[in-house]
Amino acid sequence: MKVIDNIDVLKSELEKRRRVALVPTMGNIHEGHLSLVRQAKKYVDTVVCTVFVNKLQFNERADFLNYPRTIDDDLKKLEMNKTDIVFLPTGELMYPCEQEYFIEVPEYISKCLEGQFRGPFFSRVATVVMKFFFLIKPDIAVFGKKDFQQAFMIKKLCIQFSTQCTILLGETIRDFDGLALSSRNSHLSSSERAKANQMYRTLVNIKEKILKNNELEHFNLKFLSQLEDTGKDKLNNEGWECEYIKVINKDLFREPICPKTEWRQLIVLAAARLGGTRLIDNIEIV
């Protein structure tokens, strides 16, 4: 495994390679990231994993400074999973001067759900991802389904800009009790961790009700809204601060127009705070 922190060296190394896959990360590598590396290895000769904590996508400087950095452990895990190249750019390398140009993400993505709570997050992510696409020119890139809104945005980005990069989505990897693996989980106290799977259980409950009722007369937008409200109330009553639970059409990223005919395309997205830790998750109906 080659570890590279220089753009010229990276480009020189990639010239020797054939098909290349990109797995972008911010480090603090866990099994969710590693599953994306293994998925990428099935399709290409060379997997490039980036480890870069992108300061532009953090609303609060404290969150950027406190983001867990575990590079030595990260490199061991990536090498054990046969990553070919790890690109470790510094902030100065990625942003040699003040970044004045950003990709503008349409409001139906950037202003709803995650966009309501994370400011210019999607514009900043789109910008850094496009920088990596320009530098690495991957044939494929693999992103996790856990960050579904981000993954949807990046797929649309590649189509709009004709990047010639195929986006693959990896399944969410979960802990023994259903909690989606995330770097943020390390911020949970032991008592918070013990109840952190309540979000996933709430999503499973909504999925079961959709599967049970999708052919019945009352299966409409009002019914879905009631499921959302009940789920939010349940989490809030358990001590969470629920930001949203929303059922949408995953192919179009919008509220379903006719739930009875769209139920196979539905996904339930959720975000909530447990103590000081913000967690997100989702579940597809099919």
Is the domain of 208 the same as that of 110?
no
Cα separation, 11 vs 13, in Å, equals: 5
CATH number of 214's domain: 3.30.1300.10
pLDDT for 125: 97
Q: Per the domain annotation, does 177 fall within a domain? A: no
The answer on 197 and 158 residing in a single domain is no
* Residue 84 within any structural domain of the chain: yes
Q: What is the pLDDT of residue 60?
A: 80
Assign residue 69 the CATH number of its domain.
3.40.50.620
Q: Does 150 lie in the same domain as 190? A: no
Query: Do the domain assignments include residue 212?
Result: yes
Are residues 198 and 227 both part of a single domain? yes
pLDDT at 66 over 90: no
Q: Both 248 and 156 in a single domain?
A: no
**Whether residue 10 has pLDDT greater than 90:** yes
Distance CA 141, CA 248 (A): 25
Q: Tell me: pLDDT of 61 over 90.
A: no
Angle at CA of residue 246, ends 240 and 249, nearest 5°? 155
Task: Mark whether 117 and 198 lie in a shared domain.
Answer: no
Is a pLDDT exceeding 90 seen at residue 63?
Answer: no
Residues 12 and 94 placed together within one structural domain of the fold = yes
- Strand extents, DSSP E, 126-188: 140-144, 166-170
**Judgement on whether residues 202 and 74 belong to the same structural domain of the protein:** no
**pLDDT interval class at 139 (50, 70, 90):** very high
The domain tally of the chain equals 2
Query: What is the percent of the chain where pLDDT is above 90?
Result: 95
**The pLDDT value given to residue 15:** 95
**How many Cβ atoms are within 10 Å of 78's Cβ, its own excluded?**
24
Residues 106-112 have a mean pLDDT of: 96
Residue 176 belongs to a domain: no
Residue 268 lies in a domain: yes
Asked if 196 contacts 185 with a C-beta cutoff of 8 angstroms, the reply is yes
Angle at the Cα of 212 (from 206 to 213), degrees rounded to 5? 90
Region 141-148 average pLDDT: 98
Instruction: Give percent above pLDDT 70 in the chain.
Output: 100
* Whether residue 22 sits in one domain with residue 149: yes
Range of 61's domain? 2-170
- Cα 219 to chain center, whole Å? 30
CA dist 8 and 2 (Å) reads: 14
Domain ends where: 170, 198, 231?
Answer: 170
Shared domain for 189 and 253, answered yes or no, is yes
Given this model, what pLDDT does residue 172 score?
Answer: 98
Q: How far apart are CA 58 and CA 124, in angstroms?
A: 9
Q: Say if residue 10 is in the same domain as residue 105.
A: yes
pLDDT at 185 over 90: yes
Residue matched to tokens 């992108």: 54
Residues with catalytic roles: 33
